[in-house]
Amino acid sequence: MACSQPKALYQFMFSIAASALKDFAKRKHGGKIGLTTVLHTHSRRRNLHPHQHIIVANSNYNKTRNQWHKGKRNYLLNVFSVANVWRARMLDAINHYADLSLANTEILPTKWIVD
């Protein structure tokens, strides 16, 4: 799919990653977070391997209270929960909202890495 429809796939990756992180942060911390995302399309061996690197500020801004909250030192969000939500949203977007389809869903990994 990354070969046949890269633009649609990459747009989904960016929008879903941002929305998932923002939803988790709002629910957990009650504010808005800032993030920067970079897309890598290949692995070190130059194989097609689209993935993102995301830097998230470990703090948030609560607009209603007009307060800036500094996050905990080593923990921002539960990565396992974020991975599950991101995977579900990506598969839903691919299967339902675009003219994309996954040819063989058995080859998809059940555990997606978010770290």
Taking only the tens place, the pLDDT of each residue in 7-29 is 888 898 999 999 999 998 888 77
E strand or H helix at 79 = helix 79-96
Q: What is the largest CA-CA distance in the chain?
A: 49
* Cα gap 8→87, rounded to integer Å: 16
The pLDDT value recorded for residue 70 is 78
What's the chain's Rg over C-alpha atoms? 16
The residue extents of the domains of the chain are 6-107
Q: What is the pTM of this model?
A: 0.75
